[in-house]
Structure 1
Amino acid sequence: MLNPGMAYQKTDFHIGIPLLSNIYVSLGNTDFSMDAIFNANDINANIEEVLDRMSSEDFLAFNQKLDLLHIGWRRGKRYYSAGAYQEIDAVSNFPKDLIELAYYGNAGQNRSYDLGHINTKVNTQTVFHFGINQQMNENLHLGARVKLYTSSLNARSLRNTGRFRSRTDETGLLLTQTISNLNLKFDSTGIENADELTPGNLLFGSNLGLGFDFGLSYIIDDKLEFTASLLDLGFIQFSKDTQRLTVQGYYEYEGLEIQFPDFAQGGDLVTYYQDLGDDIEEALPSETTSDAYTFVQPAKMNLGLSYRFGSVSGSYDCTLTPARERFGNQTLSLHVFSMANAGNLFYSINAMYERRFWNAFYVKASLGVDQFNRPNYGGGLALDAGKVNLFLNLDRLNNVTNLYEAKALAFQFGMNLKF
């Protein structure tokens, strides 16, 4: 799925074990670990240290994929694939100023808070796909995949602006609070009626989209191979069960100017606060519509270069006949990945070493950097014996002995049958 143009092994047909052919989970943030907050030191001091280090550029990300069905078959020099997978993808920047406002309060701070730090995207989808891999000659494979996206649950809030200012006068008695240049946007689908969503609604979404994957594999010589892919060039058009909220305006509140209700004359706090609320709503009008909106998929790029060497004893699965064979039981490779999501850059550069034992058992180790860890360690195991293919990958192993110190973790497992 990372490259529809890979040089496939000599396989006429494969099928993934439903719900087990690929399970992937990744969670991470760019700022802190659980141990940074929950340790032997004073928790308030820990939180203040984290807040002091935090930036509005820091973010939290979660991605989960589950293959529902995946099959592939060869016909001539083409290899076809089809299937469906479920995915949850979420990215949110840390709204540093708002977190500090919530933690410290605004009394006596005399500062300005940037409301534009609100930046988040969440999408759940089921993707149906069909791909074709064409062997062009003994060196080159090209591939493409078309995807049908379906979704019933989505939320985003991007490109917000606004400032909240809080200040006191020289006496320290008059508190003035101002909201200026406010323009907050929140688009959602299915959130309002989330309690009514069923597993069927989530699996087969009522909003549709279209996307494409492209890839290639070029065998430079008997030992060297170059690969590249562009994934998820597509979108979803959300038009059913949508809600689009916009809040704009300017408001200034000076605490001592507000007169409390005259209880002797029958005034009450309910009416007082209702009038205050009406005043704020008038100054900061909101608009809610059910208009459609377009959600652009985060496109992904992969580049790879691998060099195979070592023992050539025994048979070895290679590329589709009559493609050029590559020999060796060891591989050194370099992989580069990049993706932009919610204005944040996701990237990784990894050097990997792979060793094959007994023509069936594979071990891989990786060292690199990504947006969460510098350096980043990873490892993988695979069994490719007869008709059975199993694999297990663990990424971001820097703190595997103490998960509380980890900023990020990633796990992948799969089980497939080949014929």
Structure 2
Amino acid sequence: MRKLFLVFTLQLCLFSFSQNKQLLYGFSEIPQSLMQNPGGKIKNDWYVGIPLLSHFHVNVGISGSTVYDVFADNDVDFNVKLRNAVNSMEPTDFYGFNQQLEIFSGGFAFGSSFNKNKYISFGMYQELDFLLFFPKDFAVLALEGNQSNINRFFDASDLSLFADVVSVLHIGYNKKVDDKFTFGVRGKIYSSIANVSSTKNKGSFVTVPGENNVYNHIFDLDLALQTSGIASLIDDENSDVSNDVDVLKKRVLFGGNLGLGVDFGFTYQLTDQWSFDASLLDVGFISHTKDVENYAINGQYTYNGVNPLFSPADDGQTADDYWSEIEEDFEDIFTVDTTATKYTKWRPVKFNASLNYAFGKKQSQYCNCAVDDSDYLNAVGLQLYGISRPKRPQMALTAYYYRHVFNGLRLKAAYTIDSYSFNNLGLGMSAHIWGANFYVMADNLLQYKNVYDAQSVSLQLGFNYIFNKK
């Protein structure tokens, strides 16, 4: 039973994410790049995203031991592989899942007939964001038990998780002030569909030699779990799947817990070939006031009834009896406070910045010279990314190469160093056929040969109709 629990925990902790979209950032031919920098360059007069198809993004990954490390068929004992995997990971390792689906989007330029230097973009998307830090002390306790860890303090703060499903309605404004400076801002209304948060846990558990019993088990706990949008779905005994789906649909637009946010960004043309840009995203909060149910355990407890091993088989006690007895004892000594107290959660703030160098003018077919009014065909640069997280920020550094192959095809290759690996190679493509635009982007291409041993996998794709500037 203990090993099954540990395997389940470890499998969960094999997946992590950062929400970094380094391939999309700065890819100005794709309208969705404005979501990464509202002050980015714009190369269209207007566009409309194909509903539910204009942008889809999913990202999973690994910051510690992989599935392959535990389940590889390599003649190594499973218990040894499991123990090595747990011991190699740290409480700062994390796992999770991030997914985005754009419901609708659009944008248009406006201004004077000779200088349309302003741009409005708008849309709505749904996002699922899940994060769990590896609870190492809990995993060690499940693997080794407490009998071999007498007087060792197990840290309850290792347990840290966050899950949120939101829809976001947004509108952005972009202005090209002059040939050097462009800025943008985007306002957002968040509608939380469901939220679970337990990120500020404290306390410890220790087993010490006892007086009346072999061991005393001492708990000093300050644990809290906040939820919204969950209780009504699991408490209603008469509810069915169709009713739950209807409830979730109503929460997508102003039907759930609401919040506000803002994005900022700019681009500065240092020279004709050098440019610098930066953005700050999701500076905002969500106030959880509806369907709130919170749970807390706070206090010091001493228990001397847990035997680290099952009783002898000849006494007739089964495993179910053993665990039922422990459960009853714990319910007697632990008091779980349940409240409906409102709470506010800040969104994970994201930061992007890049330095870019463009080169290679398009050559005229009539002479050995460049076409003066054309864009550069190539660009290289460095991008820095960061996102706020409960224990510490997550960072990534990307080097990229961009190539304008011809009018209908652009490519971007990137090499990223992040929390997962030092060999993240990605490739993005944007294709234009008349007004139709299709793009697809993927990370960690070298690891697709064995996804069970991959550190992270990311995919983005979408369809738009774009009317480009002449």
TM-score range, shorter chain: 0.7 to 0.9
Confirm or deny that 1:345 pairs with 2:385. no
Which of the numbers 252, 255, 276 marks the counterpart of 2:302? 252
Q: Counterparts of 2:407 and 2:163 in 1: how far apart (Å)?
A: 42
Partner of 2:81, secondary structure, is helix
User: What amino acid sits opposite 1:416 in the alignment?
Assistant: N
Residue in 2 that maps onto 1:194: 233
**Out of 8, 28, 40, which is 2:61 matched to?**
28
RMSD of aligned alpha carbons: 2.6
Contact 1:249 1:283 in 2 (8 A): no
CA shift for structure 1 position 12: 1.8
Which residue is 1:318 aligned to?
none
Query: Retained in 1: the 8 A contact 2:167–2:193?
Result: no
Q: Pick closer, same or farther for the CA change 1:168–1:12 going to 2, 3 Å.
A: same
Which of 94, 114, 117 is residue 155 of structure 2 equivalent to?
A: 114
Between stretches 19-28 and 390-399, larger displacement belongs to 390-399
Partner in structure 2 of residue 100 of structure 1:
140
Indicate the residue corresponding to 1:89 in structure 2.
129
SS at match of 2:388: strand
AA at the equivalent of 2:363: S
Q: CA, structure 1 residues 397+347, in 2 after alignment: closer, same or farther (shift >3 Å)?
A: farther
* Corresponding residue SS for 2:157: helix
- In structure 2, the partner of 1:261 is none
Mind listing any 5+ residue stretches in structure 1 that lack a counterpart? 258-272, 316-323
Q: Does the Cα contact within 8 Å between 1:28 and 1:409 map onto a contact in 2? A: yes
Cα shift at 1:256: 9.7
Is it true that 1:405 corresponds to 2:448 in the alignment? no
Q: Deviations over 1:263-312 (max 9, x none)?
A: xxxxxxxxxx9998787556543311111100100011110121111142
Matched, 1:179 2:229: no
Aligned to 2:168: 127
What residue number does 2:252 align with?
A: 203
Alignment partner for residue 77 of structure 2, among 42, 59, 68? 42
Q: Within the alignment, does 1:235 sit opposite 2:285 as a pair?
A: yes
The 5 A counterparts of 1:228-307 are: 228-255=278-305, 280=330, 283-307=333-357
1:308–1:326 CA contact under 8 A, matched in 2 = no
CA contact (8 A) 1:91 1:122 kept: yes
2: CA distance, partners of 1:29 / 1:335 = 21
2:183 to 139, 142, 153: 142
2:169 partner amino acid: F
Closer/same/farther in 2, CA of residues 313 and 256 from structure 1, 3 Å limit: closer
Deviations 1:301-333 (A, max 9, x none): 110121111142379xxxxxxxx9673211112
Matched, 1:17 2:50: yes
Task: Report if the CA contact (8 A) 2:387-2:394 is conserved.
Answer: yes
In the alignment, is residue 165 of structure 1 matched against residue 206 of structure 2?
Answer: yes
Give 1 or 2: higher helix fraction: 2
Secondary structure at the counterpart of residue 35 of structure 1 = helix
Change (3 A) 1:370 1:314: farther
Q: Could you say what secondary structure the match of 1:52 adopts? A: helix
**8 Å CA contact retained: 2:70, 2:81:** yes
Seen in structure 2, the aligned counterparts of structure 1 residues 169 and 207 have a Cα distance that, compared at 3 Å, is closer
Distance in 2 of aligned mates of 1:174 and 1:209: 53
What's the CA shift string for 1:108-150, capped at 9, x where partnerless? 4313211111111111000000011011112111100000000
- Distance, in Å, in 1 between the alignment partners of 2:102 and 2:363 is 35
TM-score between the two structures when normalised by the length of structure 1:
0.88
Q: Deviations over 1:347-376 (max 9, x none)?
A: 111110111212221222111201111232
* Residue type at the aligned position of 2:409: F
Structure 2 segments unaligned to the other structure (5+ residues): 1-34, 112-116, 308-322, 366-371
Identity %: 31
What is the alpha-carbon distance in structure 2 between the residues aligned to residue 231 and residue 326 of structure 1? Answer: 31
| 1:325–1:175 distance in 2 versus 1, CA, 3 Å | farther
Q: How far apart are residue 191 of structure 1 and its match?
A: 2.0
Between structures 1 and 2, the one with greater strand share: 1
**Residues 93 and 120 in structure 1, CA contact (< 8 A), matched pair in contact too:** yes
Distance 2:305 2:56 in 1: 55
